Amino acid sequence: MQSSITEKKLTTKEIVRSDKKEKHVGFSFEKLKGMAWTIVRAVLIIGLSFVILYPILLKVSIAFKHKSDLYDPTVMYIPRHFTLENFQYVMEAMNYFKVVWNSFLLSGGTMLLTTISCSLIGYGFARFKFRGNNILFALVILTILVPPQTIMVPTYLQYRNFDVFGIIGLFNGGEGIKLIGTYWPFIISSITGMGLKAGLFIFIFRQFFKGIPREIEEAALVDGAGVFKIFFKIMLPNAIPAMITVMLFSFVWQWNDTYFTTMFLESASVISSQVQIAGSTLASKLTAASGSTGQIDPFYLSMLVNTSVLLAILPLIILYMFVQRHFVESVERTGIVG
């Protein structure tokens, strides 16, 4: 009898030990699996970050190199002779500060007007039901899909001889107003929700406003608020994430735009157009400085063009450093995915 009890105790102890051993093995396997996934994820993130940042880092390295480092085979990424001469030379050739100021005015103005107009249109699509609502929204989506080059001629002619239902022509001898060469095409297209990538911005606002509960508006209507008061006092303060996303996208795309800028402005003194002609501008300046008609050093010219590109994206990098946290939060809340 006593021996059977002892055997039972031993059997129980063996079961407990085996359970602990299995738990230990399972825990070790899960921990090992988690560590392996962490390493793989870290390698992927570092690799993708390097692929994205490598061109910028390379431009920074080239911009700070002295001309003599170009012909030194021992210099790869870290310059042997650090210099700011390239920046100074390019800034003088491009009239950099004036060009950047013009670009800020153009991009900032279109950003504000586009955000206001697209938020109103997006709110209308999200909250008001009317006949042809889906058809109009489908046309908005179509503006995202259709390349702007397909409507280049009618867009140019519209602002080349601008008129509103023939009203201006009645007081101007049957002719419209020439807006090409001014900033009015950007202002008009931004106010009317037809600016650069406006279809995408309307879609972002529509999806965001549809996610806001209707009970908030119903309570405001009961309190006697009108449509515009509800929009400006209630909906817009709740749409800060969508506004940040749209404002940043609008600013960056207008800053980098060359298509509409060169089409509407005959002599565009903005950063995107100046970068396009930076090669010819710097080449002419180098020729005038050397006082000869000989061939220009193509490697040195390439270094200066590289510096001009870095100076063009420098304001955007600084801007992103300040709004990065708000931008990531706004993209997450608006539901934009890659």
State which H helix or E strand residue 141 sits in: helix 133-145
pLDDT value of position 333: 60
DSSP assigned state of 150: G
User: H helices within 223-277, ranges in order?
Assistant: 227-230, 236-238, 240-256, 259-264, 271-276
Q: Where are the domains of the chain?
A: 2-63, 95-276
Tell me the pLDDT tens digit for each residue of 202-227: 998 998 888 888 888 888 888 888 88
Assess contact for 264 and 178: CB atoms under 8 A: no
pLDDT value of position 1: 47
What pTM was estimated for this model as a whole? 0.80
CA atoms of 242 and 264, how far apart (whole Å): 29
- Residue 186: exposure state from Cβ atoms within 10 A (0-12, 13-18, ≥19): buried
79 is written with which tokens? 């310059």
The one-letter code for the residue type at 331 is V
Question: What is the chain's pLDDT, residue by residue, as a tens digit (338 residues)?
Answer: 444 544 444 455 555 455 555 555 555 777 887 788 889 999 999 999 888 888 888 888 888 888 888 888 888 888 888 888 888 888 888 888 999 999 999 999 999 999 999 999 999 998 888 888 889 999 988 888 888 888 888 888 888 888 887 777 777 777 788 888 888 999 999 999 888 888 999 998 998 888 888 888 888 888 888 888 888 888 888 888 889 889 989 999 999 988 888 888 877 788 888 888 888 878 877 777 666 555 777 888 888 888 888 999 888 888 888 877 766 666 666 555 44
CA atoms of 91 and 256, how far apart (whole Å): 18
Tell me the pLDDT tens digit for each residue of 150-179: 888 888 888 888 888 777 777 777 778 888
Sign of the Cα torsion 264, 267, 269, 273 reads positive
pLDDT value of position 115: 93
pLDDT value of position 298: 81
With respect to CATH, is domain 95-276 assigned 3.30.70.3270?
no
Q: Give me the residues paired with residue 162 across strands.
A: 177
* Whole-number CA gyration radius for the chain: 31
Phi, psi of 177 (to 5 degrees): -110, 135
pLDDT value of position 161: 87
CA atoms of 290 and 299, how far apart (whole Å): 16
pLDDT value of position 187: 92
